[in-house]
Amino acid sequence: MPSSPDDQDPATRPRQPDRSAADAAIVEAEARYHRDRLALYRARVYSGKPTSLTRLRELERAAASADARARHLRGR
């Protein structure tokens, strides 16, 4: 079955959203979220409130991982 010329012409096809830009925005937001969580927990540590060294390390790992994903995506 022959397709119409409109199906082949990129100028007349409906635009698909730019997934990579959306993915980059999500990854950047996740990295910012993890950095903020870590900063809040560090403030809690410095204020003398009850804290857990294990939780602090968990938040540091999560923030480092999210930052690495963001750097990798930007370097693409």
pLDDT in tens, 30-74: 999 999 999 999 999 999 999 999 999 999 999 999 999 999 998
pLDDT in tens, 6-23: 456 656 666 656 778 889
pLDDT in tens, 49-61: 999 999 999 999 9
Q: Which long-range contacts (CB under 8 A, 24 or more apart) does 35-41 make?
A: 35/63, 35/66, 35/67, 37/62, 37/63, 38/62, 38/63
Question: Which residue ranges make up each domain of the chain?
Answer: 19-74
- The answer to whether the CB of 24 falls within 8 A of the CB of 71 is no
How far apart CA 48 and CA 3 sit, in angstroms, is 70
0.75 exceeded by the pTM? no
